[in-house]
Amino acid sequence: MSKLQSAPTLNDVARKAGVSTATVSRCLNAPDRVVEETRQRVMSVVDTLGYTPNFAARVMAAKRTFTIGAIIPTMENAIFARGLQAFQEELHQRGYTLLVSSSAYRPEVEEEQIRTLVARGADGLLLIGHDRDPKIYDYLDRQKVPALVAWSYIPNTRAPSIGFDNRQAMQTLADRVIGLGHTEIAMISGISQGNDRARLRIEGARDALRMHGMHPEELSIIETSYEIENGAEAFARLISQDPRPTAILCGNDVLAAGALRQAQNMGLDVPGDVSITGFDDIELARIVSPALTTVHVPHREMGGKAALELIEMVEKSTVGNTIRLQTEIVERHSLGPANKS
Amino acid sequence: MSKLQSAPTLNDVARKAGVSTATVSRCLNAPDRVVEETRQRVMSVVDTLGYTPNFAARVMAAKRTFTIGAIIPTMENAIFARGLQAFQEELHQRGYTLLVSSSAYRPEVEEEQIRTLVARGADGLLLIGHDRDPKIYDYLDRQKVPALVAWSYIPNTRAPSIGFDNRQAMQTLADRVIGLGHTEIAMISGISQGNDRARLRIEGARDALRMHGMHPEELSIIETSYEIENGAEAFARLISQDPRPTAILCGNDVLAAGALRQAQNMGLDVPGDVSITGFDDIELARIVSPALTTVHVPHREMGGKAALELIEMVEKSTVGNTIRLQTEIVERHSLGPANKS
DNA sequence: TTTCCCTTTGTAAGCGCTTACATGGATAAT
DNA sequence: ATTATCCATGTAAGCGCTTACAAAGGGAAA
């Protein structure tokens, strides 16, 4: 009972097994470069000592961490949860570890976290959306850390991306809304500043208006952060406008759920009195009643493919492909024909 | 334009600023130990070079990472999101970084992740619930990495914990249900194997039955993993039993939301035909209609205090205090009096 | 038998940082 | 003026690992 000091090191194992540190290292990292008998002896010492290699030391020596970092805007709601889960599963299968942090939609926080992750040796980074200070991309280039953008598809940008066309998706949905006879349409959007998804969804809605000869400025929009309460509040303000909107497009399902609740609190029938649409198709969309008509996003596919693509970028030092995924409208019960009263 | 090679090191900065590496290191870590003028010169070199200290090297030399690891069972639903967010905010304020991973409720995965986090030099660990192989606690002791358990309050265990009394909370809720005249009660629980929260909630429900002279074995229970669909399915099975339950206690809000949806799909009125209760009081509980009567858990308080406690354990090498938080029943609309038909 | 090659293992040089200790100059105390 | 102090900075020893290279031994080929 000596050695209470601290965790055993490679050296301790080597000495106790009567071999050199190099051999122990090989047993762990390239077992076939060591003869069976030696390996067994070493491994049993590893076990009895409860040895775990020191990660920092390994990283320093080997210059690889097998770690991928991801920074998502929020963990408070489920928007990124499913995709991230798939991302992590795929990474794990390929021997990588995922480090996640959330930036609370704050650019400074995101930047700090990017630096933290890079300093920690992340081999690659997953970022959400394209909008950020170009200096960050410079920094990433300089540090030679590949980054892949997800949840957004915009070709020919600084970083490769995997995602869907937010603009087009919202345009299709709005087109459908208009097709149902709605002319008084309002929108509850996330904060578009620094958020290309939010910005493009707004643009998409405007595109649809234009396509139908309506003036895009007619679309009254409230921007607010993605929280149920905010959706509710925005709904209350929008619905009291004159002329009163008959359809409200929401920037995501969370906002839509809030709007829906507020509508119900105000005694309004959805979609009888007012239609509400969501975006993302998270679980929430199916739970509320009426269930939300929304844009389905292939979360798991996106997460899984992002992992593969990023690993490719890391291992082959390629610049990465930009991949477009398809979305589709799922019609449930929160959208109905316009009810001209 | 030379030095395309790789990221600049401390050495590069030192040379370019005409000082020793020690001085540069001091500028970064103990600015007041260096004279103003020198510091400015060094810092400007740091900026122009875009130098970021190499984390692994720093860790190796300093033996501290200012990193805390947390392993949660799932990120797919919001159960842990709010608490974790508070945890992370508090840590961040204290200069620590949080590394999160999710184990998907799989003990082997959790164990692997604990080892990964420790190897990565986590200064401390946040774990959810007490149930795990005692060997893991041995390992943690040996590695001298303090661990704090959250979401559960059980004194005199291997690890200190911060949380609430799951058993007592469910007992109180069940007591209320029985007080409303329900005698045919069923329960949809999470998988209790390896999950003390689930196990204790079941026990709590049984306690309540006992208190009212009912036989605890009468409580029919379906255990299933925490997903909406599973809640729905379990509800369908339970409701077709004879005698038909008039109240269904759910292990958490997710399960309850599923049960509720299924009830509605089956044309049952809640709480007229059947009452449903949740647990955790996540956002979901307020969104569904009728809103869930559930057990409110002080998520943010738990997360914040966990951070403080864990930092204390790390910095002062103390064993940590076990802290009990209060829960309370929030009465909304999914629980009503028994309707004897 | 001799030569060559291949396999297994050891030796030791870093990886980029922090920090105990050493140094030297300036200031304060005597 | 001399000595003691203190402050700013430099020197250099690790931290625990990986890996290029060297060494040694055992066949296979000639």
pLDDT at A35 over 70: yes
Residue B208: alpha-carbon gap to chain centroid: 26
* Of B121 and A205, the one with more pLDDT: A205
Quick one: average pLDDT of A324-330? Answer: 97
- Cβ contact A211 with chain C strand, < 7 A: no
φ/ψ bin of B3: left (φ > 0), alpha (ψ from -120 to 50), beta (otherwise): left
pLDDT digits (tens, 9 = 90+) for A116-142: 888 888 999 999 999 999 999 998 988
Interchain CB distance below 8 Å, A56 and B56:
yes
Instruction: Let me know if B12 is exposed, middle or buried by CB neighbors in 10 A (0-12, 13-18, 19+).
Output: middle
Mean pLDDT score across all residues of chain A:
92
pLDDT at B120 over 90: no
pLDDT score recorded for residue A258: 96
Q: Which residue is nearest to nucleotide D12 (CA to C1')?
A: B22
Interchain CB distance below 8 Å, B287 and A288:
yes
Å separating the CA of residue A25 from the C1' of nucleotide D19: 10
pLDDT at A3 over 60: no
pLDDT digits (tens, 9 = 90+) for B168-184: 999 999 999 999 999 99
Please state whether beta strands A67-72 and A97-102 pair in parallel, antiparallel, or not at all (unpaired): parallel
Q: How far apart are CA B211 and CA B209, in angstroms?
A: 5
pLDDT digits (tens, 9 = 90+) for B55-89: 899 999 988 888 899 999 988 788 998 999 899 88
* CA of B218 vs chain A CAs: smallest distance (Å): 31
Work out the pLDDT band at B2, boundaries 50, 70, 90: very low
pLDDT score recorded for residue B340: 61
pLDDT score recorded for residue A21: 93
Residues 6+ apart with CB under 8 A from A35: none
Q: Which of A84, A115, A257 is closest, CB to CB, to B52?
A: A115
pLDDT at A5 over 80: no
Work out the pLDDT band at A2, boundaries 50, 70, 90: very low
pLDDT at A6 over 80: no
Alpha helices in chain B (DSSP H): 10-17, 21-29, 36-49, 55-62, 81-93, 107-119, 134-143, 166-179, 196-211, 228-239, 253-265, 283-287, 299-316
pLDDT above 90 covers what percent of chain A? 74
DSSP A293: B
pLDDT at B206 over 60: yes
* CA of A216 vs chain B CAs: smallest distance (Å): 32
Residue numbers of A between 57 and 96 with CB closer than 8 Å to B: 57, 59-60, 65, 75-78, 81-82, 84-85, 88
Mean pLDDT score across all residues of chain B:
92
pLDDT at B119 over 90: no
Work out the pLDDT band at A282, boundaries 50, 70, 90: very high
Å separating the CA of residue B137 from the C1' of nucleotide C9: 37
pLDDT score recorded for residue A98: 86
Q: How far apart are CA A98 and CA B75, in angstroms?
A: 13
Length of chain B: 341
Q: How far apart are CA B298 and CA B149, in angstroms?
A: 15
Mutate to test the interface with B, among A284, A286, A332, A334 (most CBs of B within 10 A): A284
Among A62-66, A134-138, B4-8, B239-243, name the one with the lowest average pLDDT. B4-8
Report the predicted TM-score, pTM, of the whole model to 2 decimal places: 0.83
Find and list the nucleotides of strand D having atoms within 7 Å of a protein beta carbon.
Answer: 7-12, 14-20
Phi then psi dihedrals of residue B94, to 5 deg: -95, 10
Interchain CB distance below 8 Å, A257 and B287:
yes
